[in-house]
Amino acid sequence: MARRNSNVLSGDVEEARGQILEAAQSTFLHFGVAKTTMDDIAKSAGVSRPTIYRYFRDRDTLIAELIRLRARKLFVRGTKYVLERKHFRDQVVDGLIFLVDHGRRDPLIRLIVSPEHMDLAAAVVGTSRLASDLTLEMWGPILDRARERGELREGITNEAACEWLALVQLILVGRLDFEDPTDPSHRQLLETFMLPAFLPPGTV
């Protein structure tokens, strides 16, 4: 605890932010996001609450940064999984199921992909468009490659595509929470109703 405190007060901004985020993550995982206060996080980090506010504007800002960090770790695995598939149609269908299945199990990532946290999610990501931005970060390069190969319908921007993918993720969370993620019906629905929005005419 003392080591954390001395590091936070040392003036190294990135180290201090990382230390507070680490403490916040362990506290959120222990108490749950809804029940965790800034006092809890400060105690875990071994600092005062005003010290945390030096690095994060408020609790929602801190949560959003944690979501971003944990989502990016998932994206590393997700990108590897997606790129094992040759064609965009398989990449986007299998990739969505993979990312949603793994993301819904993470109590922090779940904040942006789960209906039951809608009130909290609106406060955390509503104004920052965090869900759409993270979706774009993951899928933007894959969409670019698909476009270069002629596998993406003309006129679709990455931004618009990722807003739609973010909405599809919400639907998938509800299904995967109550049904086997390996059930082929998930894939069939995505192929029938989601793929036509992306693929060139005549290739669906």
Torsion-angle region of residue 32: left (phi > 0), alpha (psi -120 to 50) or beta? Answer: left
The verdict on residue 46 lying in a domain is yes
Domain residue limits at 42: 2-56
- 161 lies in the same domain as 78: yes
- 91 is written with which tokens? 């990449």
Q: What is the mean pLDDT of residues 155-174?
A: 89
Give the confidence band of 194 by pLDDT, cuts at 50, 70, 90: very high
The answer to whether the pTM exceeds 0.75 is: yes
Would you say residue 173 lies in a domain? Answer: yes
HSE (side-chain half, CA atoms, 13 Å) at 25: 14
62 lies in some domain? no
Same domain for 76 and 24: no
Residues 6+ apart with CB under 8 A from 150: 200
In the chain, the number of structural domains is: 2
Q: How far apart are CA 121 and CA 152, in angstroms?
A: 31
| 117 to 123, 128, 144: CA distances (angstroms) | 10, 16, 32
Mean pLDDT of 184-192: 95
Same domain assignment for residues 190 and 91: yes
Residue 177 lies in a domain: yes
The answer on pLDDT for 115 being more than 60 is no
CATH of the domain at 33: 1.10.10.60
Cβ count near 149 (within 10 Å): 11
Position 99 confidence tier, pLDDT thresholds 50, 70, 90 = very high
Q: Rounded to whole angstroms, what are the CA distances from 189 to 54, 174, 178, 194?
A: 47, 14, 16, 7
Task: Give the confidence band of 51 by pLDDT, cuts at 50, 70, 90.
Answer: very high
Residues found in the chain: 204
Whether residue 176 sits in one domain with residue 101:
yes
**What is the residue-averaged pLDDT of the chain?**
86
Of 27, 56, 85, the last residue of a domain is 56
